[in-house]
């Protein structure tokens, strides 16, 4: 997979007035272009309530629309602020299962300046789907999302 080409094309058609549309588009592009990305979603951080809110996704319907900080992999990233890779979700002690088909997962934080505003969450039906290339690409993508549209991703502004 040519991730640098994908990274460029992701930001080709951003709509400055519609952050949700941009997130939807990114989810769709990621899922369509990477075989092992089976569920792709963005959670927005509500720091006042210490909860994560699902803003956009593609893949199977999920019940986990709101996740408390600390709970599951997303909740752990809300606390640590660092990318988390679950190579094999069966070995995770703090994990929220969305589908029995999921074998591995990555969650990358998205910062607007110093503030953690959102997360990108990707589930895969392939074990150990996130290698060095995927991690580098997704971290770069999240850095650029934060730089290009971070101001729109604050919970109060996003409007969930
Ligand atoms: N597995 C995640 C929950 C979100 S779903 O994957 C959509 C977690 O453990 O936080």
Distance CA 41, CA 66 (A): 13
Q: Which fold has domain 1-9+18-114?
A: Beta-Lactamase (3.30.450)
Q: For ligand 1, say whether the CB of 6 is within 6 Å of any of its atoms.
A: no
Distance CA 42, CA 60 (A): 14
Q: Is the pLDDT of residue 13 over 90?
A: no
For residue 41, give the ligand 1 atom closest to its CA: 7
Q: Identify the band that residue 160 occupies on the pLDDT scale cut at 50, 70 and 90.
A: confident
* pTM score of the predicted model: 0.97
Tell me if 66 sits within 8 A of 43, measured CB to CB.
Answer: no
The pLDDT tens digits of the residues spanning 106-139 come to: 999 999 999 999 999 999 999 999 999 999 999 9
Mean pLDDT, range 21-27, rounded to an integer: 96
The residues spanned by each domain of the chain are 1-9+18-114
State the distance from the centre of ligand 1 to the C-alpha of 71, rounded, in angstroms.
9
């Amino acid at each position: 997979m040519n991730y640098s080409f994908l990274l460029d094309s992701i930001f080709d058609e951003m709509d400055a007035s519609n952050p949700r549309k941009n997130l939807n588009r990114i989810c769709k592009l990621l899922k369509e272009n990477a075989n092992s990305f089976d569920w792709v979603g963005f959670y927005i951080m509500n720091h006042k309530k210490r909860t994560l809110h699902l803003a956009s996704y593609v893949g199977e319907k999920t019940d986990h629309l709101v996740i408390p900080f600390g709970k599951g992999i997303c909740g752990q990233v809300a606390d640590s602020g660092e990318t988390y890779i679950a190579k094999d979700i069966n070995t995770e002690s703090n994990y929220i299962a969305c589908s029995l088909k999921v074998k591995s997962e990555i969650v990358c934080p998205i910062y607007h300046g110093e503030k953690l505003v959102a997360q990108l969450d990707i589930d895969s039906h392939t074990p150990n789907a996130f290698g060095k290339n995927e991690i580098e690409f997704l971290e770069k993508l999240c850095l650029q999302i934060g730089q290009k549209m971070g101001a729109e991703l604050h919970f109060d502004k996003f409007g969930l």
